[in-house]
Amino acid sequence: MADRPASFTLAVPPGDDRERLVCDACGHVQYENPKVVVGSVSTWQGRVLMAKRAIPPRTGWWTLPAGYLELGETPEAGAAREAWEEARARITLDGLIAVYSIPRISQVQLIYRGRLSSPAIDIGPESQAVALYDWGDIPWDALAFPSVRWALNHAREIGDAERFAPRGNPPGEMGDY
């Protein structure tokens, strides 16, 4: 007889205080946790690397190279991987700019400050276009997500400081966009 796929029911497991997916056959609790997004504000000679999204959500809008952390990957390696995947950019990370909490979509975002190894960039499979923007030329009205604006503003605020404390959500912004 072939094994049947497990069936799960929403229930409050013993010792817990909220509903979880619980296997009807064995009682295994299938936890669902927030996703971790990693990315960077990376620059070359003062210009910021940005990518125009070729995938949902917000296809056709500008963003920083960022995406979901993979299993078994450090956040720093993930941020570097995302820069490569989206903009074919090789980067070196200088520190953590910010940790943003976006509870509406169950995300925690870790955004790093990075430096490009060279100005050589190209369109990756998740991008329609890539560019290095001077601060004054960033397409502020076409940014994909509020957290992109937050990260750009926090990066500019930090500037070239060698030591800085990571920022968080701006006052009053809980990511309910």
Q: What angle do CA 156, 60, 142 make, to 5 degrees?
A: 40
Interval 136-162: pLDDT, tens: 999 999 999 999 999 999 999 999 999
For 48, the 3-state DSSP assignment is: strand
Same domain, 3 and 90: no
Mean pLDDT for all residues in the chain: 94
Total residues found in the chain within this entry: 177
CATH number for 118: 3.90.79.10
Range of the domain at 24: 1-32
CATH number for 17: 2.20.70
Same domain, 28 and 105: no
- Cα–Cα distance list, 119 to 17, 92, 122, 133 (Å): 51, 13, 10, 12
| Amino acid type, 47 | R
Interval 100-139: pLDDT, tens: 999 999 999 999 999 999 999 999 999 999 999 999 999 9
Same domain, 40 and 28: no
pLDDT of 30 over the 60 cut: yes
Confidence tier at 4 by pLDDT (50, 70, 90): low
Confidence tier at 6 by pLDDT (50, 70, 90): confident
Give the residue-averaged pLDDT of 64-87. Answer: 98
Q: Beta 127-133 vs 107-116: how paired, if at all?
A: unpaired
